[in-house]
C-alpha cells in the first residue's frame, strides 16, 4: 500500500461552481450516458434473461416456424422479422425495464439516483446499454439461425427495415426506462414486474393476435409502439411501405421518453419521502 497521504479534500468554500458552457454540459451528459451504457452492458454479461430471450427464443421460434412447412422467400422474410421482433421485444423490454431492479439487487440503486450526475441521463444510458446488449444478442442469433437453416430471405425495403429496428431499440429504451421507475417506488418491484410480464406480452400481440382480444381491450395494443413497428415492418418486407405506422411508433416513443423523464424524477422524490432507498 502506498504511504502517500490522503489527498486534501476539495474546498467546501468553493461554493460557486465553475460555470459550464452549453457545449461542456452536452459533452458531460454524453460522457455520463456512454459510461452508464457501457457499465450496464458489462454488468449484464451472462445474464440468463438475455440468453433465454435473445439467444434461445429466436432459434426455437424460427425452427418451429420453418420446419413445419418450408416457406417461400417473401414468407420467410416475414417470419424472420416477426420472430426477431418478438425476441427483441421480449429481450429488451425486460432487460431495460429491469435496470433499476438490478441496481437494487447490486445495492447500487441509491448511488445511481442520488449522485451528482443527472440520474435521468444515467437511467437512459443504462437502459440504452441494456437494450443494445439484448439487440446484439438477438440479431446475432437470428442471423446465425437464418444462415444455418438456409432460409431464402428477401426484403423489398432493407433500409426501412433497418430504420424500424432502430426505432425498436429507442422505443424499448424509453419504455424500459418508464417501467424501471416501479423499482424506485416499491421494494416489491420484482414481484410487480413478474406480474406485469404476461399482460404486456398479451396486449403487445406477442402471445395472441390482437384481434383475438375482447373488443373492449383492443385499444390497448394501439398504445404499444411494438404494434405499429410490426405493421410498418410488414409493409417494408412486402413492398407496401406506409409511413403512418412509423410516425405513430416514433410519436409513442417520444411519449414514453417524456413520461419516463417526469415519472423518474417524481419517483425519486417519492422514494426520498417514503424512505425506500437504501445504500446496500
Partner 1 sequence: MSDAAIEVESLGRTFKVRGGQVVALKNVDMRVGRGEIVGLLGSNGAGKTTLTKILATLLLPSSGTARIFGHDVTADPREVRRMIGVVLGGDRGLYSKLNGRDNLRFFAMLAGVGRRGLAERLDAALDRVGLTEVADRAVETYSKGMRQRLHLAIGMINEPPVMLLDEPTVGLDPVEAERLRRDIAGLRDGGTSVLLTSHYLLDIERLADRVVILADGEAAADVDVAEFAKLAGYTAIVTVRGMGRPPEFESGQSQFTVDDLSESGGLWTLRLRVRDWSVESFGSLGSALGGVDILGVDVSPLRLEDVYSHVAAQLAANGPSKAGEVHP
Residues comprising the chain, all counted? 280
Of the candidates 6, 21, 22, 67, which one interacts with partner 1 according to CB under 8 A? Answer: 6
Does residue 215 bind partner 1 (CB under 8 A)?
Answer: no
For the bound state, the minimum distance from the C-beta of residue 264 to partner 1, rounded and expressed in Å, comes to 16
3-state helix, strand, coil in the chain (%, to 5): 75, 0, 25
Q: Candidates 63-71, 112-120, 192-200, 221-229 — which segment interacts with partner 1 by CB under 8 A?
A: 112-120
For the bound state, the minimum distance from the C-beta of residue 113 to partner 1, rounded and expressed in Å, comes to 9
Q: Candidates 42-50, 127-135, 152-160, 247-255 — which segment interacts with partner 1 by CB under 8 A?
A: 42-50
- For 203, 212, 230, 241, the CA distances from 209, given in Å and listed in that order, are 9, 6, 12, 21
Nearer residue to partner 1 within complex by CB, 254 or 277: 277
Contact 34, 125 (CB under 8 A): yes
Contact 277, 113 (CB under 8 A): yes
Does residue 278 bind partner 1 (CB under 8 A)?
Answer: yes
How far is the first Cα of the chain from the last one, in angstroms, to the nearest whole number?
27
Residues 256 to 275 in contact with partner 1, rule: CB under 8 A: 272-273, 275
Residues 124, 125, 130, 132: what is their CA dihedral angle, to the nearest 10 degrees?
110
Does residue 15 bind partner 1 (CB under 8 A)?
Answer: yes
Does residue 39 bind partner 1 (CB under 8 A)?
Answer: yes
Nearer residue to partner 1 within complex by CB, 9 or 194: 9
Of 107, 103, 92, residue with least CA distance to 167: 92
Does residue 122 bind partner 1 (CB under 8 A)?
Answer: yes
Helix axes 119-149, 73-97, angle to 10 degrees: 150
Give the Cα separation of 139 and 132 in Å (integer): 10
Q: Candidates 27-35, 135-143, 152-160, 167-175 — which segment interacts with partner 1 by CB under 8 A?
A: 27-35
Cell numbers found for residue 63: 425452427
For the bound state, the minimum distance from the C-beta of residue 27 to partner 1, rounded and expressed in Å, comes to 8
Binding site for partner 1 (CB under 8 A): 1-2, 4-13, 15, 17, 28, 31-32, 35-36, 39, 42-46, 106-108, 110-112, 114-117, 122, 272-273, 275, 277-280
Amino acid at each position: 500500500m502506498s504511504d502517500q497521504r490522503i489527498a486534501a479534500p476539495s474546498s467546501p468554500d468553493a461554493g460557486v461552481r465553475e460555470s459550464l458552457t452549453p457545449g461542456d454540459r452536452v459533452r458531460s451528459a454524453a460522457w455520463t450516458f456512454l459510461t452508464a451504457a457501457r457499465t450496464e452492458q458489462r454488468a449484464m454479461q451472462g445474464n440468463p434473461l438475455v440468453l433465454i430471450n435473445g439467444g434461445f427464443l429466436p432459434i426455437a421460434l424460427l425452427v418451429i416456424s420453418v420446419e413445419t412447412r418450408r416457406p417461400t422467400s417473401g414468407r420467410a422474410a416475414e417470419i424472420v422479422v416477426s420472430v426477431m421482433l418478438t425476441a427483441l421485444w421480449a429481450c429488451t423490454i425486460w432487460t431495460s425495464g429491469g435496470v433499476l431492479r438490478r441496481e437494487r439487487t447490486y445495492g447500487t440503486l441509491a448511488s445511481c439516483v442520488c449522485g451528482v450526475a443527472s440520474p435521468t441521463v444515467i437511467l437512459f444510458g443504462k437502459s440504452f446499454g441494456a437494450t443494445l446488449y439484448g439487440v446484439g444478442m438477438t440479431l446475432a442469433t437470428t442471423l446465425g439461425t437464418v444462415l444455418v437453416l438456409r432460409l431464402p430471405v428477401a426484403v423489398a425495403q432493407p433500409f426501412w427495415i433497418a430504420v424500424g429496428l432502430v426505432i425498436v431499440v429507442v422505443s424499448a429504451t424509453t419504455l424500459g426506462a418508464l417501467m424501471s421507475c416501479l423499482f424506485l417506488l416499491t421494494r416489491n418491484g420484482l414481484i410487480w414486474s413478474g406480474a406485469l410480464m404476461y399482460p404486456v406480452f398479451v396486449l403487445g400481440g406477442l402471445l395472441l393476435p390482437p384481434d383475438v382480444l375482447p373488443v373492449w381491450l383492443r385499444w390497448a395494443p394501439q398504445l404499444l409502439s411494438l404494434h405499429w413497428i410490426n405493421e410498418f415492418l410488414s409493409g417494408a418486407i412486402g413492398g407496401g411501405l406506409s409511413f403512418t405506422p412509423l410516425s405513430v411508433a416514433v410519436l409513442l416513443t417520444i411519449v414514453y421518453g417524456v413520461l419516463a423523464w417526469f415519472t423518474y424524477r417524481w419517483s425519486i422524490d417519492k422514494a426520498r419521502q417514503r424512505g425506500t432507498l437504501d445504500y446496500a
